[in-house]
Every structure is written in C-alpha cells, then in structure tokens.
Amino acid sequence: MAYAPTKWNLGELYAGFASPELQGAFDNVEEQVMSFEGVRGKLNPDIDPNQFMEIVRASEETTRIINKIYAFTGLSFSSDTQDQVAQTYMARVQQFAAQMQNRVLFFSLWWKELDDRNAERLMSAAGDYRYYLEEMRHFKPHTLSEPEEKVINIKDVTGSGALITLYDAITNRYVFKLDVNGETKELTRGQLMAFVQGSDPDLRAKAYQELYRVYAEDGNILGQMYQTRARDWYNENIELRKFANPISARNLGNDIPDEAVDALLEVARKNTKIFQRYFKLKAKQLGMQQLRRYDIYAPIANSDKKFDYNDATKTVFESFNSFAPQLAEMAQRVFDQEHVDSEVRKGKRDGAFCWSVLPDMTPYVLLNYQGRARDVATMAHELGHAIHAMLAAHHSAFTWHSSLPLAETASTFGEMMLTDKLLAEEKDESVRRDLLFKQIDDAYATIMRQSYFALFEKQAHDMIQKNASVNDLSAAYMENLKEQFGDSVELSDEFKWEWVSIPHIYHTPFYVYAYAFGQLLVLSLYQQFKAEGEAFKPKYLKILSAGGSEAPAKILSDAGIDIRSAKFWQGGFDVLDKLVSELERL
Ligand SMILES: [Zn+2]
C-alpha cells in the first residue's frame, strides 16, 4: 500500500460538532456525575472492596467520555485553528471539565483522608488500579480541606491561570521583523526561529537580536509576571501545602524522588565540558574562531535532500520492524486507520504531536510533513509515542498513560533507531556528518539546555522569595549561561532576556527537567541495546508496556536502573562524550 500526505478521519470519535452523539456525551457525563454525587453517603472506612471498585470504575467511565470529548475538540481545533466552532468548543469543554471535577472532588479527598489500614485493604483488591490509587494518596500530607481546595480551584481560574493566559496573549501577539534579501519580513516567533537553523550567519544573529529586542521591550512586565507566578507557587505549595521545596511539588506529581532529580541536575552540571568541546569542534567545522551563541544550531552541511512521503513511512516501518515486527505493525495501524494528519494546510497547527485518547483506541498523530530529514525523524518520534500507548493498551484509562519522565522513552528511542538506519544507508559523507551533528544539537537542546533552565528556576524561585528584582534575575540568568557555555561560546548581552521568553517556566514550573530525564534515560537504554542485542528487547518492551501502572522508579528498577544514583545519569553523558570524541576524530 502506498501512503500520501492526508488529513485524518475523526469519525471514530464523533461524526462532527453537530452530531447527536457528541451532544449526548455531554449529557451522559452530567448524568454520571450526578449519580456519582450519590455515592458520597456510602463512603465509609469499612466499605466493601467490590462496592469501592464499582465507584472507581464509574469514575473511570466518566473520564473515558471526557477524554473522548476533549480529544475530538482538541484534534478538530489542531487541524483547523481558524474554525470558530472548534474554538468555542475548546473553551466550553475546559469549563465543563473543571465544573465536573469540582463536583466529584469529594471522592479523592475522602480517599486521601482514609486510614492506611483500610486503604491498603482496598488497594490490595484494586488490581490494575492500585498504582493510581496509591499515587493519589502520596498527596495526603499536602491536601487541604474540601472548601479550601474548591476555593483554590476557583481562584486559580482568575488568578495564576489568568496570569498565564495574559502572558500567552501578550507574547503570541509579537511580530518580529527581519530583513531578508533586502526585503523586510514580518514573522511569527516560529518563522523567525527557522533562521537560527539556517546557513546565513548574519541572519542567525539578526534573528536572535530581533527576538530579544521584542521581549526586552516588555522585559519588566514579563519579569513581574514571572515573579508573581513564583510567589503564587510558594504561597500555595510551601505555605499552604507544606512541600519542602518549590521543586518538590512537581517531583511528587511526576512521582520522582527529590534525590533523583538532584542527582540528575548535579551530574548535568559536572558534564558541561562535553558540549563545550562540541561547540569548539563545531566552530572549526564552520570555519569560525569561536562560536557565537547565535550559531549553536547552525547546519554543518547544506544538504537539501528530500524524502518522499511513502518512502519515509516505509523507512520508519522498517526501522521499527528491525527491532520487533509487532512495533512496525502498530505503527502501520495508525496510518491504515486514517489516524494521521500529515499534510501541510493553512490554519493547521504547527509542529507535531501524538494524542492517545483511550487505551483501546489507536492514537492520533499530527505531522506537518515537508520531506526534510527532520520530518522523517519527527514521524518516527510521534509513532514511537503511539506505539508506547498501544503496548500499554491492556491497562485502565487511569494507568495506561506513562508519567511525564517516561513519556519520551519510545519516541526518542524510535528516533535513534531511525538515525542509525539512515546513517547505515547514507553514502553521501556530508549528509552523514549533518545527521551526526544534528543528533548532538538535539541532545544539547534537550539535556543541557533544559537542565540549566531547571537550575535557573530553582535559583529564581529562591531569589524571588528574597525580593530579587527583574534585573537581579536577568543577571543571575547570564551567570547561568556563562557556567553552561564556559569559554566555548561568545555570549551577547541580549540573552539576559531569554528567561522571560520560555513559556514552560511560566506555565508549568519545573516541568523542563523531564526532557533531560527522558533523553538521558534513552541514551543509556540505547547503549544497553547495542551491547546486549536480542536480550535487551524484552526488557525494553516491558518498560513500555507498563505504561503508567507503576511508579517510574519501580518500572526502571525492574530493568536494573537506579535513577537515584549519579552513576546512572553519568552513563547517559558518557554516551554523549563518546559521540563527541568520534566527531572529533572524523
Ligand atoms: Zn515527544
């Protein structure tokens, strides 16, 4: 079968916004929530395990419908962001979900309050739902009373939630101007940033200068918003919920022990030399004395090799197939069920993602396929996500989705297998070199850059509590960059505004270390794969098929990995060290 770039078919979810099934789904959720409210009186410490599981399954059923509504709305919106109906539904669904959540809040509060002995009695009968229930109880020491929790939920909508919406509204409106071939172009941030990966050194510099010129104009306001966000985080998580540190609140949500995150960030700090060596090497390749910060993503060769879409799908399937035929079959199923939206269209969302809706439904994948090597890698990446979800399909809707730090395992692993395959087949030396350098560029961007963002967040949250000004924070950010780059890269002053341009640190404080976590994990898994061959495969498939049914530390310790040990994280950096050494020899 030959594949061509297409639009997806959402019919398996709902026929359309006007379909009676979709309207019925809203009513259905309302009815289920109303009946769920009725169980309030039945919740007592010696509740029968069967009755308890009925309640859990009822709540799963509601979650399944909400997931479907959410997915249909989100996917429709992604495929046409200008569609007014989809836009309106997005807001409606968010509001609806929040309201429903507040009405069933009593259940999770009761569950967290329950004594250990009875909780253990119920969990031991919960089968696959056990970890979901256990994880909820981790928050017991940090949970407030029902009225307090409700007040926080409601005030967040107009408080920190609104602050972030404003940050997005302000920064999404920015227009960037760039002179290209004597013509002044007005660009979005995404379009502007394409030039920093381009081969013209002058445009790379101008693109960054323009980016931070615009952000610096609002630097004080954006900086104040960040201060407010950090204070809100402190007030809620430290003052009210009694977490030990600002980052601990995120760690518990990820179910990663504080020591593991500390170990990861410390080891990253000790390994800055690897990328510094790489940047020096890259300067030589580009014929420069020293790399400027503007040049770190510059291409090494100007390979404009294009990959036909059908060939790309075949290459990706073959790469999965060489690991296990089962994986290739799953990848192919995503295409055959028309769950891929790959064509480039006006109004369609940029970039790529995989959306797994329900354990028993083939995930949906969005791509914007333009035939570059990067697009083939993205295809392998997103299909990796889909395969991960499909391998875990035997779990409940509460336990099949892997937690954040493990979420990038199959996707990154899939990309690495593909790169190996492309390298093995590529005859053109310049294309090969480009592929190798791109691999390290990406590793820098996901590992070191994100680790240093996290280190900055830790410092900034601390400084803000001690009344640091926006300028103090900018100065601290420059120090952070200096430590990261050493003498390998020339830094210019405008980068002091980079921190106000990172949406993640506003939206989801301390989210970013999960990227470094995932990529380092995969580097060491991939190393094991190369060393052990066939023997590695069942171990890897077991990690993926666990989904989110166990704590990440447990899933990984079953595979012989100790995320608390500095040695494990160093192993990931050792792989990079070797790759850079190989490039140095080339
Ligand atoms: Zn991903």
CA of 288 to the centre of ligand 1 (A): 33
CA of 487 to the centre of ligand 1 (A): 32
CA of 50 to the centre of ligand 1 (A): 38
CA of 401 to the centre of ligand 1 (A): 13
CA of 44 to the centre of ligand 1 (A): 42
pLDDT for 191 equals: 83
Mean pLDDT of the residues in the chain = 94
Judged by DSSP in three states, 186 sits in strand
CA of 354 to the centre of ligand 1 (A): 8
CA of 270 to the centre of ligand 1 (A): 26
Q: What pTM value is reported for the model?
A: 0.89
CA of 224 to the centre of ligand 1 (A): 31
pLDDT for 373 equals: 82
- Write out the two tokens for 556: 């990984």
pLDDT for 81 equals: 82
Residue length of the chain: 586
Which has more confidence, 559 or 132? 132
CA of 350 to the centre of ligand 1 (A): 14
CA of 516 to the centre of ligand 1 (A): 12
Q: Kindly report the number of other CB atoms within 10 A of residue 160's CB atom.
A: 20
pLDDT for 435 equals: 83
Portion of the chain with pLDDT greater than 70, in percent: 99
pLDDT digits (tens, 9 = 90+) for 505-556: 999 999 999 999 999 999 989 988 989 999 999 999 999 999 999 999 999 9
Q: CA 111 from chain center: how many Å?
A: 29
Fill in the amino acid letter for 26.
F
pLDDT digits (tens, 9 = 90+) for 463-519: 999 999 999 999 999 999 999 999 999 999 999 999 999 999 999 999 999 999 999
What band does 374 get if pLDDT is binned at 50, 70 and 90? confident
Please list, in sequence order, all residues whose beta carbon lies within 8 angstroms of the beta carbon of residue 337, skipping any fewer than 6 positions away. Answer: 9, 12, 362
- Write out the two tokens for 81: 């962001």
Q: What is the DSSP string of 359-382?
A: TTSPPEEE----SSHHHHHHHHHH
Portion of the chain with pLDDT greater than 90, in percent: 80
For tokens 């249909």, name the residue: 72
pLDDT for 302 equals: 67
CA of 443 to the centre of ligand 1 (A): 14
Please list, in sequence order, all residues whose beta carbon lies within 8 angstroms of the beta carbon of residue 38, skipping any fewer than 6 positions away. Answer: none
CA of 382 to the centre of ligand 1 (A): 6
Tally helices (H) and strands (E) across the chain: 25, 7
CA of 381 to the centre of ligand 1 (A): 6
Q: What is the DSSP string of 390-402?
A: HHTTTS-TTTSSP
Residue 114 CA neighbour count, 13 Å, CB half? 26
pLDDT digits (tens, 9 = 90+) for 218-228: 999 999 999 99
Who surrounds ion ligand 1 at CB < 5 A?
Answer: 411
pLDDT for 303 equals: 67
Q: Is the pLDDT of residue 345 over 70?
A: yes
Integer Rg of the chain from CA: 25
Cα separations in angstroms, 123 against 21, 114, 505: 35, 12, 36
